[in-house]
Structure 1
Amino acid sequence: MDTGCALYVWGYLPKESWRRADLKLPSSASGRVTVELDEPPLEAGISVSITRSNWEVLFDKSSGLVRVVRDRQLPEELVEIADDVYLGLNGTVLNSFWLSPEFVE
């Protein structure tokens, strides 16, 4: 919490809301992303919610990729912050995150 580093992505995201799409993971670099918020301040054990924004969830069944994106048209740089967890940044703004989830039936 002291560093503000993004460590992982988590949350409840029912598959029924996902839209089918052809997804190919763009080139990326491993790295660190630091989160800075004006309000509310970061608190221990608390995540940053994206529910107040319009996000689209895309899923490619053949690749298994999930992309949660704010604006598909924005150019972005992908940073892998954990195994199979990528944040898509447009400058200093989070535009998307990409996941390769393991599905358990």
Structure 2
Amino acid sequence: MRIKALWQPSNSLPGELLYSRSEYGFRFRTADAKDLATSEGGKGFASVSIDTLQIEVSVQTGRALYVWGYEPYTGWRNGNCNEPDAQPGMVVLQPSEPFEEGVSLSIPARHWDRRYDRSTGWFVTSPHDRDDAEWHVEIAKGIVLGGSTQGIQSVYLRPTFED
């Protein structure tokens, strides 16, 4: 399945990205449930997956809202991950078939490298250790998607760690 990605200027979703070491996963805590409900649009949520990492999406609009999912830090390699040159905005994902509530669509299988930079606090995943993104957009606090009309090319995350 092919999933195109488009971006436009907008406010990013306020909240906090968390990483639980004991649960090996990311989760997003919204600052205001009303903001999330407005962004979702009323038809529910779907997701786009990169292995077990999920990009939560509005079924109604295709807007990428935040990132969550199982992502064991034990598999991250140390690497240089500088803060991407990103602007606040909205990324709209357009699959070849419509999103369905509760259904996850996979980004076509290929190896996505995982790197973490202790000095900057950024985690990044991208195909084969390359970020070929034409743009970087902060969709929510601590969550940056890199992409092009061809789709998502990278995901940058800067979480608050908890045990």
Q: Does 1:57 align with 2:121?
A: no
Q: Does 1:9 align with 2:71?
A: no
Shift of residue 74, structure 1, vs aligned partner: 1.9
Structure 1's unaligned 5+ residue stretches are none
- Kindly provide the amino acid, as one letter, of the partner of residue 90 in structure 2: R
Runs of 4+ in 1 over 6 A off after TM superposition: none
Shift of residue 99, structure 1, vs aligned partner: 0.5
- Kindly provide the amino acid, as one letter, of the partner of residue 101 in structure 1: P
Shift of residue 75, structure 1, vs aligned partner: 4.3
Q: Does 1:93 align with 2:156?
A: no
- Kindly provide the amino acid, as one letter, of the partner of residue 54 in structure 1: H
Q: TM-score, normalised by structure 1?
A: 0.86
Shift of residue 67, structure 1, vs aligned partner: 0.3
- Sequence identity (%): 37
Q: 1:13-69 deviations in whole A, cap 9, x for unaligned?
A: 001110111111121111111111114x31124444348332111100111100011
Contact 2:133–2:154, Cα closer than 8 Å, also in 1:
no
Shift of residue 92, structure 1, vs aligned partner: 3.8
1:24–1:95 CA distance, 2 compared to 1 (3 A) = same
Q: Report the equivalent of 2:127.
A: 70
Contact 2:134–2:148, Cα closer than 8 Å, also in 1:
yes
Distance in 1 separating the partners of 2:146 and 2:71: 19
Coordinate RMSD, CA, aligned: 1.9
1:23–1:55 CA distance, 2 compared to 1 (3 A) = same
Q: Secondary structure at the match of 2:144?
A: strand
Q: TM-score, normalised by structure 2?
A: 0.58
1:44–1:104 CA distance, 2 compared to 1 (3 A) = same
Shift of residue 91, structure 1, vs aligned partner: 3.7
- Kindly provide the amino acid, as one letter, of the partner of residue 143 in structure 2: V
